[in-house]
Amino acid sequence: MNIRLYKILVICLLVAWLPRMVFGQVKQPIDYADPLLGTSESRWMLNPGATMPFGMVQISPDNQGEVWKSGYEYSINNIGGFSHIHSWTMAGLSVMPTVGVLSTFRGPADAPTIGWTSGYRSRIDKATEKASPGYYAVTLMNGNIRTEITSTTRAGFFRFTFPREEDAHILLDLDVPNEAPTEILDAGFKQVSDTEIEGWSHQKWSWNEYTVHFVVRFNKPIKSFGGWIGSTVKKEAREFTGKGKMGAYADFNPQKGETILMQTAISLVSIDQARLNLVTEMGPFKWNFDGVHRNARTVWNNLLSKIRVEGGTELNRKKFYSNLYRSYVARTTWSDVNGKYVDVNEVVRQVDPDSPVIGSDALWNTFWNLNQLWTLVNPDIASKWSRSLVEIYKTGGWLPKGPAGIEYSGIMEGSHEISLITSAYQKGIRDFEVSTAFQAMMHQQTTPGRRTPENGYAGNRFFESYLKLGYVPNEEGQVSNTLEYAYDDWCVAQMAKALGKETEYGQFIKRAGNFKNVWDPVTKYIRMKNRDGSWVKDWSPYCCTNFSGPGYLEGNAWQYSFFNPHDVQGIINLMGKEEFNRRLNEGFEKSARFNFNAEGDRYDLVPINHGNQPNMQASWLFNYSGKPWLTQHWTREIMNYYYGSTPYHGWLGDEDEGQMGAWFVMAAMGLFETDGGASVKPFYEVGSPLFPKIIITLDPRYYPGKTFTIEARGTSDKNRYIQSASLDGKPLTRPWFYHADLVDGGSLVLQMGPRPNKSWGSRTGDAPPSMSPATN
């Protein structure tokens, strides 16, 4: 071989191997996850802060007031504090470093300036802002203070670097602006040594009353300590109590370039428990900030690495791992390191430390995103959720919809925690009290809900009428609740069948067909119905969205007429396959102009609103109606246009604690479960994978296989259509396969192309299972 040819060969090899060297060996999944993605117009629970998976502390910068979607807004170039709790309807303990004259007033979000007259809020240099899973850093222009944050599950670690010698103050503010304006009923601070502060804040929003206990310690002695209540500053006050807007400050006199380290921990149980959380989780690291950061990075990278993608674009890898990260970041562990927690009756309880009690917004329709991801990739997390839900039932008497702060919030409708527990059981995740779980489901689906003493709500609203009439009448509440309840009834039936309880199975499988009671055969829509059985006349397919009154919960008749997770075939039978496909595809074509999002909740404009829960399954329904190539097409369109890769465009609408993120991850793998995986034999529907190769590492504690590989040969944005498929080396001619065939290991191989293969998966009998048999 001559020298010229040799050089050309070497160059070709380098070109071929360089991407693999960069992306496969050096760049880890965590390096693609961007906590800043989508943080413009994001919710309180989704922020760029430093936290661990389901962390109790979620320490993040806040720069807004008490407004909807408050917390962090990327487009605002200032910060008013770094608060510890970003759980739904909950907040607590904001920290802010300042220099110069002491100010205890935060200042307005819209016009901060450097100077004490405008409060302690500081502008920031956006170029200095860095965020990665478990870490956040920024330089505050008021004093040029470099502020870095990392965390363990229940404790936080701050590193403040001061560029010059100056009087410095670390403020601990209990008044934290958030989505749910919080009243501080009583609170207190105490300096317990020259390096440690402890305190509590008893606070309330609506039904959610709780006490945040905290311990704060520094690596250097406090020069002086004081606080404020309202506008009154209390200097040199080692201990004080009060209520309303209040906080404390610790003064220091750092030298040029000096770093002050601060560790914090919280607990809803007691100050002693907060100190135990701090000592237990931070003790092994002592004052090694970088050690804690490395630990957080390792935990997150191990979690994200459970799914490895190969090939594809840098953009899609960023979107994939950022969305995977969001699927674990927003919900909250509320039990302490030793398993103590405060139950719904404000009683301190004890659980196994390995079975944490978890709080969140509702599990409303998580069967179309989070449930699928957790039970497949992290069955240990699905197990923990199941145990947590059962624990709350045992101490409170009801399964919770959204146990914020471990209270019965009553948020959203249906009891879809039943779907999560059922899916876990059907997939072999059974290390929870199964008999108690079934007892809880039976209670939930046979007993009308009720107000709780703290003005929350346990169980199902309008359930007495549903049990009597088989639907929710218009005079009482949302007709769409009928569909939610019927799906949960089906889940109970599936659990009963799996447990061999034939009587209960018969009872609930009959009720699972109640969606037919609100189906209008003339208009072929789910329609609002009066108590006397007559249809509401003032009505249209796009009308009547409502949150608390008659109509459709955060949706409309068009969307809810496709809402039947357990019986898609039943809807096809009622609507007719031709009309089903025409109406659904037309809805996608219309919604594509809006990137599949009803901005401002304009449901009358956008049939397919991926920015909310009621029809996140819509693009997968063509697998049931004989046109799987349209599932392949529209899932790709949603991934391309609804989901972005910048702080200003991450996801549109209401992300709701990782639901949109988990949907993207499942769709990018080409997998979905319209029925939430709750059938006795769970199965996955097949879509259009984004990457040529996806490797899922299976948990050996639950699943017998080591890995499952999805190959989408030749996949690209153009080559989005399945030409042929094989499962474990055998031809797969239908657009679905059983969960059992995935978790025993093996591979799904898809040959992709630029044009639909309309003969693949479209024959009669190819559709995934439904409750009803096909009639047309």
List Cβ<8 Å contacts ≥24 apart for 716-720: 716/752, 717/636, 717/640, 718/754, 719/752, 719/753, 719/754, 720/632, 720/633, 720/636, 720/688, 720/752, 720/754
Same domain, 19 and 59: no
pLDDT the model gives residue 615: 92
pLDDT the model gives residue 776: 67
Q: What is the mean pLDDT of residues 496-525?
A: 98
pLDDT digit string (tens) for 91-143?
A: 999 999 999 999 999 998 876 554 545 799 999 999 999 999 999 999 999 99
Q: How confident is the model at residue 8 (pLDDT cuts 50, 70, 90)?
A: very low
696: β partners = 307, 708
Pairing assessment for the beta strands 457-458 and 450-451 based on DSSP bridges: antiparallel
Q: How confident is the model at residue 710 (pLDDT cuts 50, 70, 90)?
A: very high
In a domain, 538, yes or no: no
Question: Does residue 724 have a pLDDT over 50?
Answer: yes
pLDDT the model gives residue 15: 44
Same domain, 386 and 255: no
Mean pLDDT score of the chain: 94
pLDDT digit string (tens) for 602-639?
A: 877 799 999 999 999 999 999 999 999 999 999 999 99
Q: How confident is the model at residue 41 (pLDDT cuts 50, 70, 90)?
A: confident
**H or E segment to which residue 51 belongs:** strand 50-51
pLDDT the model gives residue 599: 86
The helix/strand/coil state of 138 is strand
In a domain, 460, yes or no: no
Q: Are 579 and 565 in contact (CB under 8 A)?
A: no
pLDDT the model gives residue 13: 43
DSSP 483-550: HHHHHHHHHHHHHHHHTT-HHHHHHHHHHTTGGGGGEETTTTEE--B-TTSPBPSS--TT--EESSSS
Strand blocks (E) in 355-434: 358-359
Same domain, 231 and 128: yes
List Cβ<8 Å contacts ≥24 apart for 428-434: 428/379, 428/702, 428/703, 428/743, 429/375, 429/379, 429/382, 429/383, 429/386, 429/702, 431/383, 431/387, 432/383, 432/386, 432/387, 432/390, 433/387, 433/390, 434/499
Report the share of the chain in percent with pLDDT over 90: 90
Question: Does residue 706 have a pLDDT over 80?
Answer: yes
Q: How confident is the model at residue 148 (pLDDT cuts 50, 70, 90)?
A: very high
Question: Does residue 23 have a pLDDT over 90?
Answer: no
Same domain, 117 and 144: yes
Q: How confident is the model at residue 547 (pLDDT cuts 50, 70, 90)?
A: confident
pLDDT the model gives residue 25: 53
Same domain, 325 and 387: no
Same domain, 700 and 732: yes
Q: Are 122 and 98 in contact (CB under 8 A)?
A: yes
Question: Does residue 467 have a pLDDT over 60?
Answer: yes
Q: Are 445 and 488 in contact (CB under 8 A)?
A: yes
Pick the closest to residue 84 from 178, 218, 169 (CA basis): 178
Question: What is Dmax (Cα atoms) for the chain?
Answer: 92
pLDDT the model gives residue 739: 98
Query: Cα(48)–Cα(46) distance, rounded to whole angstroms?
Result: 7
Same domain, 9 and 90: no
Residues in the chain: 776
Pick the closest to residue 465 from 457, 455, 475 (CA basis): 475
In a domain, 458, yes or no: no
CATH code (residue 315): 3.30.2080.10
pLDDT digit string (tens) for 294-330?
A: 999 999 999 999 999 999 999 999 999 999 999 999 9
Same domain, 153 and 254: yes
In a domain, 679, yes or no: yes
Question: Does residue 481 have a pLDDT over 90?
Answer: yes
Same domain, 138 and 269: yes
pLDDT digit string (tens) for 556-581?
A: 999 999 999 999 999 999 999 999 99
Tokens of 501: 């309880």
Residues 6+ apart with CB under 8 A from 412: 362, 364, 401, 402, 553
**Torsion angle (degrees, nearest 10) of CA 752, 753, 755, 758:** -40
Pick the closest to residue 590 from 564, 613, 559, 566 (CA basis): 559
Query: Cα(570)–Cα(307) distance, rounded to whole angstroms?
Result: 35
pLDDT the model gives residue 756: 98
CATH code (residue 362): 1.20.1050.60
pLDDT the model gives residue 3: 53
Q: How confident is the model at residue 26 (pLDDT cuts 50, 70, 90)?
A: confident
Least confident of 12-21, 178-187, 268-277, 281-290: 12-21
Tokens of 388: 């947590």
In a domain, 579, yes or no: no
311: β partners = none
Query: Cα(340)–Cα(351) distance, rounded to whole angstroms?
Result: 6
Using left for φ > 0, alpha for ψ between -120 and 50, and beta otherwise, residue 320 falls in: alpha
Tokens of 152: 């363990």
Q: How many domains does the chain have?
A: 4
Q: Are 597 and 610 in contact (CB under 8 A)?
A: yes
Same domain, 154 and 272: yes
pLDDT the model gives residue 17: 45
Pairing assessment for the beta strands 168-173 and 155-161 based on DSSP bridges: unpaired
With tokens 């309807």, the residue in question is: 89
Q: How far is CA 223 from the centre of its chain?
A: 42
Query: Cα(771)–Cα(631) distance, rounded to whole angstroms?
Result: 21
pLDDT the model gives residue 9: 44
Q: What is the mean pLDDT of residues 207-224?
A: 97
Pairing assessment for the beta strands 168-173 and 457-458 based on DSSP bridges: unpaired
DSSP 25-45: IIS-HHHH--TTTT-TT--TT
Pick the closest to residue 58 from 42, 72, 47, 67 (CA basis): 47
In a domain, 484, yes or no: no
Local structure of residue 466 (DSSP, 8 states): H
Question: Does residue 509 have a pLDDT over 50?
Answer: yes
759 class by beta-carbon count within 10 Å (0-12 exposed, 13-18 middle, 19+ buried): exposed
Q: What are the helix and strand counts (H, E) for the chain?
A: 18, 38
Query: Cα(696)–Cα(705) distance, rounded to whole angstroms?
Result: 10
534 class by beta-carbon count within 10 Å (0-12 exposed, 13-18 middle, 19+ buried): exposed
In a domain, 515, yes or no: no
Residues 6+ apart with CB under 8 A from 562: 571, 584, 615, 617, 618, 621
CATH code (residue 186): 2.70.98.10
pLDDT the model gives residue 60: 98
With tokens 């409309």, the residue in question is: 556
Same domain, 234 and 216: yes
| Last-in-domain residue among 403, 424, 449 | 449
Residue that wins the pLDDT comparison between 349 and 599 = 349
In a domain, 529, yes or no: no
Cα distances (Å, whole numbers) of residue 725 to 117, 691, 708, 711: 68, 15, 15, 10
pLDDT digit string (tens) for 58-95?
A: 999 999 999 988 999 999 999 999 999 999 999 999 99
Tokens of 224: 């002086």
Same domain, 298 and 389: no
Domain span at residue 24? Answer: 1-32
Least confident of 95-99, 372-376, 613-617, 772-776: 772-776
